[in-house]
Amino acid sequence: MKIVVIVKEVPDTEARITLKDGQPDLSGVKMIINPYDEYAVEEAIKQAEKLGGSVTAVMIGDDNSRKNLTNVLALGAEDAVLVKDPALSGSDPIQLAKVLRAAIEPLGADMVLAGRQGVDCDWGMTGIALAELMGWGHVGLITALEISGSSFKATADGDNGRMTFESSLPAVFTTDKGINEPRYASLKGIMAAKKKPVAEKSIADLGLDASVVGASAAKISFVGGELPPQKQPGRIIDGDSVQAKVAALVDALRNEAKVI
């Protein structure tokens, strides 16, 4: 069983993101593996351990991405592919799906796992687009996955109930939290990761033309953003009695806030 897991770097969820000329300023911000992708990595490794097989991690990133990719290798992936190319800057989810397809198809995967969405832009589109481009089935938001031979049963939790899907591999699955509990890397795994291969690929290596990626060819682009207005500090209502405080509060709500 050959399993591919897609991982993405996102800003640390505890980082304070500021804007510079309307764009997120990520200078000095720590980058981490997308939290939803952590569930995908764990599920890929669990399935490989159960079924017998190997896991290859695929990431689109840059030179600084190798550290987080090595962390995935330390968790149990056998090898990795890092796609890095300056031409990828500003690419939209559909373009990234095309790049991922080109990187994944030569690997001979039986299934692909990815997080349901990245917590940076929250597109939630790349995994679905990848399945469409590869001509594979897709089940999203999965919270359970059973593989038997070339068949699968996947469970997804919806707003008002639970849905179960059955079909055959190959397929793309996007994971939701709750499907498992991501493991921590062991010391043995950390040491072994240093010797595991990471293949670096450019757009040209994947047989793609740089003109099909990047901001100039993107169908969707981030134009700009602004921070919400700063909240006004709280106010303490003074008064000699409860009745006086209530009267002052009602007056403020009616004549200042104008909400009643």
CATH number of the domain bearing residue 150: 3.40.50.620
Return d(Cα 76, Cα 61) in angstroms, integer: 20
In a domain, 43, yes or no: yes
Return d(Cα 32, Cα 69) in angstroms, integer: 10
Tell me the torsion sign for CA atoms 54, 144, 137, 8.
negative
Helix (H) or strand (E) holding 108: none
Is residue 31 located within the same domain as residue 143? Answer: yes
* pLDDT one digit per residue (tens) for the chain, 260 residues: 999 999 999 999 999 888 888 888 888 899 999 999 999 999 999 999 999 999 999 999 999 999 999 999 999 999 999 999 999 999 999 999 999 999 999 999 999 999 999 999 899 999 999 999 999 999 999 999 999 999 999 999 878 889 999 999 999 999 999 999 999 999 999 999 999 999 999 999 999 999 889 988 998 888 888 878 888 888 888 888 999 999 999 999 999 888 88
CA angle 137, 202, 190 (to 5 degrees): 80
Is residue 203 located within the same domain as residue 232? Answer: no
Is residue 155 located within the same domain as residue 250? Answer: no
Contact 68, 195 (CB under 8 A): no
CA distances 213 to 58, 93, 130, Å, are 18, 10, 15
Predicted pLDDT of residue 19 = 87
Is residue 23 located within the same domain as residue 137? Answer: yes
Predicted pLDDT of residue 239 = 85
Q: Which of 183, 198, 217 is the last residue of a domain?
A: 217
CA 141 to chain CA centroid, nearest Å? 12
- The residue ranges of DSSP E strands in the chain, in sequence order, are 2-7, 9-11, 18-20, 23-25, 31-33, 54-60, 79-83, 111-115, 137-148, 151-157, 162-168, 171-175, 198-201
Predicted pLDDT of residue 97 = 97
Q: What is the DSSP letter of 217?
A: G
Is residue 244 located within the same domain as residue 175? Answer: no
Is residue 34 located within the same domain as residue 110? Answer: yes
Is residue 204 located within the same domain as residue 103? Answer: yes
Is residue 71 located within the same domain as residue 147? Answer: yes
Neighbouring residues of 243: CB distance < 8 A, sequence distance ≥ 6: none
Q: What are phi and psi of 157, to 5 degrees?
A: -90, 125
Is residue 168 located within the same domain as residue 55? Answer: yes
Neighbouring residues of 219: CB distance < 8 A, sequence distance ≥ 6: 92, 94
In a domain, 223, yes or no: no
Is residue 126 located within the same domain as residue 251? Answer: no
Predicted pLDDT of residue 160 = 84
Predicted pLDDT of residue 178 = 92
In a domain, 222, yes or no: no
Is residue 163 located within the same domain as residue 140? Answer: yes
Quote the number of domains for the chain: 2
Range of the domain at 149: 2-217
Return d(Cα 40, Cα 171) in angstroms, integer: 14
pTM for the whole structure: 0.86
